[in-house]
Amino acid sequence: MFDTTTATALWGAVVVSGLYHGANPGMGWPLAVSAALMDRKGRSLWRALAALAGGHLLAMAAILFPFGALVFLVRWQEAIQIGAASLVIAMGLYLLVNRRHPRFLARVPPTRLALWSFLAAMAHGAGLMLVPIYLGICDAMDENAAGVLMAGRPGAAVLVALVHTVAMFAAGAGFAFTVYRWFGLKALSRSWFNLDAIWALSLVLIGSVSLVSVIG
């Protein structure tokens, strides 16, 4: 049997976290606007957004796949979940203390948006945010179905990463297209919004909820 209520809530969290990442300027959608304005071509916006989404997807997969492999170790699944939740909390606390963006991101050429997106997502712990959600989705499967479904868990990691990235792309594209079409970068610079503190707090929150659900 599959816990549909829990699964629905967890998949909702995958989508919401993707929308959240996409809306955050720190994930790069202003770079897509800049590329389109510099080239004076609307299609440059979508090429840049696609590159950013590709890099983000690779970062999600790079984090989720190792945990997908670890889930096979059912005997230690609870310990794995506790460790993952603690890691997410630690990352959130670190980002709350250290608000500076990693300097190495500034060294990535603007022509390599996929690489920049991959490194930005890794540096900000975007993939880590998905780990407790992904492990929760695996946990929503009861013991009788576990043997059958465990073989599909790496596939579940792919699906989580894809769903999250599609939501991220949609949110980022919405902001980027609106700014490019009607406002321009000058308006963006006058009304810049920073979600770094909220991002860090959300990592702490998600990690804490996951930790309580495991040890509670």
pLDDT at 138 (0 to 100): 73
The residue type at 155: G
How does residue 18 score in pLDDT terms, banded at 50, 70 and 90?
very high
pLDDT at 157 exceeding the cut of 90: no
Sequential DSSP letters for 113-166: HHHHHHHHHHHTTHHHHHHHHHHHHHHTB-HHHHHHHGGGHHHHHHHHHHHHHH
pLDDT at 76 (0 to 100): 67
Express each pLDDT in 76-97 by its tens digit. 667 777 888 888 888 888 877 8
| Residue 128: CB atoms within 10 Å | 24
pTM above 0.75, yes or no: yes
Residue 26, Ramachandran bin (φ over 0: left; ψ between -120 and 50: alpha; else beta): alpha
| Residue 161: CB atoms within 10 Å | 26
CB 27 within 8 A of CB 164: no
